[in-house]
Amino acid sequence: MLTETETTLLGIMMMVIMLGMGSSMTWRDFLIAFRKPKGILVGLVSQYVIMPFLGYALAMILGLPPAMAVGLILIACMPGGTTSNIFAYFSKGVLALSIMMTTVSTLVAVVTVPLLLNFYSGLAGVTGEYVIPAGNIAQVLIVLLVPTVLGMVLRKVNANAGATIELLGSLLGVIVILFLIGSWVPRNYEMLLNTGLPVYIAAIGIGLTGMLLGYWLARALRQDSNRARTISLETGIQNGPLAALVITLTFTGTQQQEVLFIPVLYSLFIVITSSFVTMWYRRNATAEALARDAAKIRV
């Protein structure tokens, strides 16, 4: 489990991340985005329809115990993580769409995450000591919305300061994942060695399958390949640190360790798998750009 000091640090870092996310947006960005909202709506369907059901389905198919099932379903119900913006940038995706999807999915998470987690946890048969109260999740998300709004205000008041905090927030998203891995893995290496294959399949599969389904849903709904790749990354890359924070504020002792297991594993592997997917997407984007240029020359 995480110590009290580590939990406090995690909470502080999450607030800085949310401040950075808010600093990436202006009210004008929302007005522009909602004039053509299709990409965002497709992303929200991927985020809050496909992913929660996928988490539940994997938990059932793989026969995960209640604690790990809750951890997996919680990850699946989370909004997009800020690290998705970094991967979208390096994949030559539509960065503005990625940022907007992260922001909007986080804003609506106050309502959607408690409802979805309660529904799918109940469907999975999770009861008693492993139930995460909806109020706990809502309170954490509401508190984290405050620095998000402050970030937007700061961006409006001082664009340079806002841009600096935006960069800091994105980088801190990666640092938080490394912090979780570095502080948790050494203390639980025996559990890692003794864990069965189904748990690893769940932790790795939720992100990769989410990316795959997010991409093809976007293509089916007539999003171009570049936007589909962006939606794909945004779908598969969930806010792992936020899930960890919810767990550490809800559980203690052995319970915390068990529920936290899959979110930490997910956070470790999503950085690795997203890196490979990003390289593949970047290669495809470059090839498409060259093909377009060649077509213009022929014309």
pLDDT in tens, 31-70: 766 777 888 899 999 999 999 999 999 999 999 999 999 9
Instruction: Of 170, 271, 277, give the one whose Cα is nearest residue 215.
Output: 277
Q: What is the pLDDT of residue 210?
A: 95
pLDDT, position 8: 72
pLDDT at 137: 82
- Both tokens of residue 140? 């954490």
178 contacts 52 by C-beta, under 8 angstroms? no
pLDDT score at 184: 67
Q: Is the pLDDT of residue 258 over 80?
A: yes
Q: Which residues pair with 80 in a beta bridge?
A: 238
Contact 74, 243 (CB under 8 A): yes
- Give pTM, 2 decimals: 0.87
Highest-confidence segment of 127-131, 221-225, 253-257, 289-293: 221-225
- pLDDT for 58 equals 96
- Note the pLDDT of residue 198: 92
Residue 153 structure tokens: 């205000």
CA 154 to each of CA 26, 104, 169, 247, 299: distance values in angstroms, whole numbers, following the listed order:
10, 18, 14, 30, 47
- In this structure, of 13-17, 132-136, 257-261, 282-286, the range with the lowest mean pLDDT score is 13-17
CA distance 235 to 273: 13
Name the residue with higher pLDDT: 69 or 293: 69
CA distance 36 to 268: 35
pLDDT in tens, 163-204: 677 677 667 667 766 776 777 667 767 777 778 899 999 999
pLDDT band at 162 (very low <50, low <70, confident <90, very high): low
How many residues in total does the chain contain?
Answer: 299
In this prediction, residue 4 carries a pLDDT of 67
- The number of beta carbons lying within 10 Å of the beta carbon of residue 73 is 30
DSSP 36: S
Fold adopted by 4-294:
Na+/H+ antiporter like fold (1.20.1530)
Return mean pLDDT, the chain: 84
**Rounded Cα distance, 215 and 29, in Å:** 24
In this structure, of 7-11, 68-72, 111-115, 205-209, the range with the lowest mean pLDDT score is 7-11
Amino acid 3: pLDDT = 64
